[in-house]
Amino acid sequence: MGGCVISCLSSCNGWKETPNVHIKKIIEGPSASVEIGEATATESRIRRSPSMKDITMDGIFAQYYGDGPTKPSLVDVLLESVNARKNKRAMAYRVIDRLEKGEIEEGGKKKPWEFIHLKPTEYLTYSQMWDKMINFGKGLVELGYPAGHRVGLYEETRYEWMVSLYGLWSQSLTGVTVYANLGEDALEYAIKEAEVHVMLCNGKAVKNVIKVCKARGIQVPAFIYTDSLPADTDLGDCKAVSFNDVIAKGAASSRAINSPKSPDDLALIMYTSGTTGDPKGVVISHGNTVACVKGFSQRLAGFTPAGVDLETESYVAYLPLAHILEFAAENVFLLRGSMVGYGNPRTLTNTSARPHGDLQEFKPTLLVGVPRIFDTIKKAVEAKLPDGFKRRVFDRAYADRKAAILSGKDTPYWDSKVFEIPRQLLGGRVRAVISGGAPMSAKTQEFLTVVFGCSVGQGYGLTETCAVTTIQRYWETKVENIGALVSVCEVKLRDVEDWKHTDPKPRGEICIRGPTVTKGYYKQPEKTAEAFSADGWFSTGDVGEFQPDGTMKIVGRVKALAKNAFGEYVALDSLESVYVLNDLALPNGVCILVDSQKAYICALVLTDEGKATAFAKKAGIEGTYPEILKKPEFQKKAAESLAATAKAGGKKPFELVKYVRVLADEWTPENGVLTAAMKLKRRVVDIKYADVIQELFKPE
């Protein structure tokens, strides 16, 4: 009986399917890139966006590197947006009211939880935002930090970060961005190398920065702090001024704006969270930032249907602003006249936030994130799916909608009957999702596209290229693909060992040139020379492959590939993005292990009590957590489950794990296993788990 009902519902959906003109446009449209120039013995022809085919590189720079002779920086570009929208909402934020201890249910068990109660949203209009920016800049100069000084930004993502950045730019100072969760070694390195004069940070962080500087014998910077300074903070002879007091000092000053005069002026030293060695400070000019935002904005213009008022659009900011992707996205929305709502990963959804999460409060139209966020969202939806008949309805709706999307159609019937509730999780207005920072798994990309009814695409770029190189086009449905080149750069593939541009599938190291390519690494000429060529090319270290439709795919890393005993290359990052979808694994909790003397691969997998208990119950294994993880039958079943996940994800036999070790550990930037950008430090893992790894690869 139930099967007949489901078939009838499916038929109703089929009758009401409508064309998706955006998907049709991608399917039937021209190639996403064009080739220019000639190939060499070791390099492919150059690829560009079709719109830039006949323009010289000088012409591309003239068009994007700065916004004409009168607007060399984003300060000048933002002023236009401010003047056009003075009383419109520009920024929104919520302040924590109180914390409450409680419980939530996970995996059929109660666990302690902390709920965050938030005060009503506060707003800044474009005029109010601009006044704060300009007054902050004037206040800096009044405090003794004129043009040329370097201001550290060591703060979580909040409106004060962006206000401070534009404020210091308005007086031609340079920003030095440092991840708020960067370890002490990296923090010391950035302060010392960049010679930071004054640092913006939360009042609670001041004490730690002073401790780090004094313990390591480096000059303690002055502080501008947000929120309040704890009473037990011993400043000694350090200067510390509140964020609001700096603005007040600037408001009392008659000093004029002194914004950058040339696009070549230094805007940012942005420290990357490298997986090995010390962080590198990427030197970003004002021209780079303008090119970045213009290139990103042009691609996003295709994500906005005709007739939509950009002033009704909104964006939720929650990724670290020290990450170039978040920096680019926020600037695009401010410069197009939309509202940026400042959130936090802990308050993004309704799980911890009260009365509700940031997504429901700010109702974004575009959601930008990294794969681990979207993996978490996918698992959260799956965990709440009903059993029995309702689950069978969901599965049929999912299958019907997936098939419809691939044929260029929409499913308004299933959308209203099945998918409307999960779509409210993202606020109900999301039109597009863009993922960057690491590969998104095919399963997650497909799931988000089907369930949330929006375009879900991946982007590719680096700090060294100001974030934007490729972005999948609106409603481009291919998975494991990083999309089409943006108009602001060009790409070629350079031969490296085992990857050649002359192969049947042209592959090689991705090299990028254009006005978004930055100036190199601060005070590191040798590393700059290794990655940046004299004629403007940046060598990414990523291996790319151009597809027949002109889009690009990442197939590995020049240096982050591992070869097994049969000479087969394992792309670690890409493979981990599939294994992390297993129900046992935590986000960012899988490390693939390869031994060049073995034909098989292994893995370390992080889990928690809820996931492990549910897995054990399903597998018929008795025991208590975490002791149950040590049981051989648990590890055996875990390996089988993970291999099944990879097989379902289309992975080849040599990419299926044979042995795993499931752990109750944590990997965080604070304990040194992850970078601040949440990437694995593989060398740290090798050392920390040397005995475990040796046991996994023991002779058979």
In terms of Cα–Cα distance, which of 121, 116, 130 is closest to 93? Answer: 121
User: What pLDDT is attached to residue 607?
Assistant: 96
Helix ranges, 280-356 (H)? 286-301, 324-335
Helix ranges, 17-73 (H)? 21-28, 57-64
Query: How far is the C-alpha of 172 from the C-alpha of 148, rounded, in Å?
Result: 6
Q: CATH number, domain at 596?
A: 3.30.300.30
Residue 554: partners with Cβ closer than 8 Å, 6 or more residues away: 439, 460, 482, 542, 543, 544, 545, 574
Instruction: Point out the domain boundary residue: 260, 275, 303.
Output: 303
User: What pLDDT is attached to residue 107?
Assistant: 66
Residues of the chain where predicted confidence (pLDDT) is lower than 70? 1-2, 107, 273-277, 560-561, 563, 565, 567, 699-700
Query: How far is the C-alpha of 70 from the C-alpha of 607, rounded, in Å?
Result: 55
Neighbours of 603 (CB within 10 A): 25
Domain that holds residue 208: 74-303
360 CB-side CA count, 13 A: 15
> Is residue 519 included in any domain, yes or no?
no
User: What pLDDT is attached to residue 1?
Assistant: 55
User: What pLDDT is attached to residue 97?
Assistant: 96
User: What pLDDT is attached to residue 275?
Assistant: 53
Tell me which long-range contacts 410-415 makes (C-beta under 8 A, separation of at least 24).
410/17, 410/18, 410/19, 410/20, 411/13, 411/16, 411/17, 412/16, 412/17, 412/18, 413/12, 413/13, 413/15, 413/16, 413/17, 414/13, 415/453
Sequential DSSP letters for 359-386: HHHH--SEEEE-HHHHHHHHHHHHHT--
> Is residue 246 included in any domain, yes or no?
yes
Q: Which residues pair with 410 in a beta bridge?
A: 18
Instruction: Point out the domain boundary residue: 268, 303, 338.
Output: 303
Instruction: Point out the domain boundary residue: 303, 331, 360.
Output: 303
In terms of Cα–Cα distance, which of 131, 432, 443, 498 is closest to 300? Answer: 432
Count up the domains in the chain and report the number: 2
Query: How far is the C-alpha of 630 from the C-alpha of 614, rounded, in Å?
Result: 16
User: What pLDDT is attached to residue 149?
Assistant: 97
In the chain, % of residues over pLDDT 90: 78
Q: Is 625 helix (H, G, I), strand (E, B) or coil?
A: coil
| Ramachandran category for residue 625: left, alpha or beta (phi over 0 → left; psi -120 to 50 → alpha) | beta
| Ramachandran category for residue 362: left, alpha or beta (phi over 0 → left; psi -120 to 50 → alpha) | alpha
Sequential DSSP letters for 158-195: SHHHHHHHHHHHTTT-EEEE--TT--HHHHHHHHHHHT
Query: How far is the C-alpha of 590 from the C-alpha of 612, rounded, in Å?
Result: 15
> Is residue 586 included in any domain, yes or no?
yes
> Is residue 299 included in any domain, yes or no?
yes
580 CB-side CA count, 13 A: 27
> Is residue 628 included in any domain, yes or no?
yes
Tell me which long-range contacts 542-546 makes (C-beta under 8 A, separation of at least 24).
542/460, 542/509, 542/510, 543/496, 543/499, 543/507, 543/508, 543/509, 543/510, 544/491, 544/493, 544/507, 544/508, 544/509, 544/510, 545/505, 545/506, 545/507, 546/33, 546/44, 546/47, 546/493, 546/506
Query: How far is the C-alpha of 693 from the C-alpha of 597, rounded, in Å?
Result: 13
> Is residue 532 included in any domain, yes or no?
no
Residue 348 tokens read as 């993004």
Q: CATH number, domain at 271?
A: 3.40.50.12780
User: What pLDDT is attached to residue 565?
Assistant: 67
User: What pLDDT is attached to residue 527?
Assistant: 94
Neighbours of 294 (CB within 10 A): 24
In the chain, % of residues over pLDDT 70: 98
User: What pLDDT is attached to residue 366?
Assistant: 96
Residue 642: partners with Cβ closer than 8 Å, 6 or more residues away: 579, 582, 584, 585, 603, 605, 657, 660
Residue 297: partners with Cβ closer than 8 Å, 6 or more residues away: 332, 335, 336
| Continuous segment of H or E residues that includes residue 355 | none
> Is residue 179 included in any domain, yes or no?
yes
> Is residue 355 included in any domain, yes or no?
no
Query: How far is the C-alpha of 417 from the C-alpha of 399, rounded, in Å?
Result: 15
